[in-house]
Homo-oligomer: A and B are copies of this chain.
């Protein structure tokens, strides 16, 4: 059986915060042909809005907690402002975008993260179920889902959820009926041996090489969970995982300036 290709693109905070990167990303995304899903992170706007609204930032052991006021702020900023601005811009580019959270159409059900080692993260959720059939129905009527990093618990609560985790879980879940290509779009051409050296792009990264880079401290702190996710996706049926520059996502077939996880 030959599966249809589906691109799942994850775009993170740094690109979202900067219109000079976000617009080229959206243009590249709108040019990508075939079935596609965009998953976006939060960016710094939520902190800015929280500060302007004098919402107190609650931290426990150096980690931000999503308290009652903060879940309202991220629901506004992620589910409203960022998501709807992206949808509106994609529509202007001729891409039939549909903005969603995991609560919409019950697409992503999460479990509120349990209190562990005395840390209560508040309204944070870890996805437990993706409605693959419903996502497929939306794709089949020609829509392009644009997902905000919010899910729900099925009991009336919105939950703040990591966008990498959402992208990964969608990619893995959709592999049962699509040939899934998962792309992480960010500000660099891919994984670099040295951030300052554009010639140090790692074009193919396998587990052995990754372990070596990690043990030498070459892969940075923020990249480690992303790459762990990437290897896990490959192990669970995703055809290809690439880490690439935001304005490059529609050119992967004709270009070799990106990192493929294998």
CB within 8 Å of B: which residues of A?
49, 52-54, 72, 75-81, 83-85, 87-89, 91-92, 96-101, 103-106, 134, 137-138, 141, 143, 150, 152, 154-158
Question: How long is the Cα–Cα vector from A156 to B91 in the complex, in angstroms?
Answer: 7
Task: Write out the residue numbers on chain B whose beta carbons fall within 8 Å of the beta carbon of A52.
Answer: 52-54
Partner of A158, one of B75, B77, B84, B150: B84
A84 contacts B75, C-beta separation under 8 Å: yes
Chain A interface, >50% SS class = helix
Number of identical monomers bound together in the oligomeric complex:
2
Select from chain B the residue with minimum beta-carbon distance to A140.
B141
Question: How long is the Cα–Cα vector from A52 to B76 in the complex, in angstroms?
Answer: 14
Question: How long is the Cα–Cα vector from A84 to B77 in the complex, in angstroms?
Answer: 12
Partner of A104, one of B87, B137, B152: B87
Task: Write out the residue numbers on chain B whose beta carbons fall within 8 Å of the beta carbon of A98.
Answer: 100, 104-105
B91 contacts A81, C-beta separation under 8 Å: no
Partner of A152, one of B83, B91, B96: B91
Task: Write out the residue numbers on chain B whose beta carbons fall within 8 Å of the beta carbon of A134.
Answer: 141
Select from chain B the residue with minimum beta-carbon distance to A86.
B103
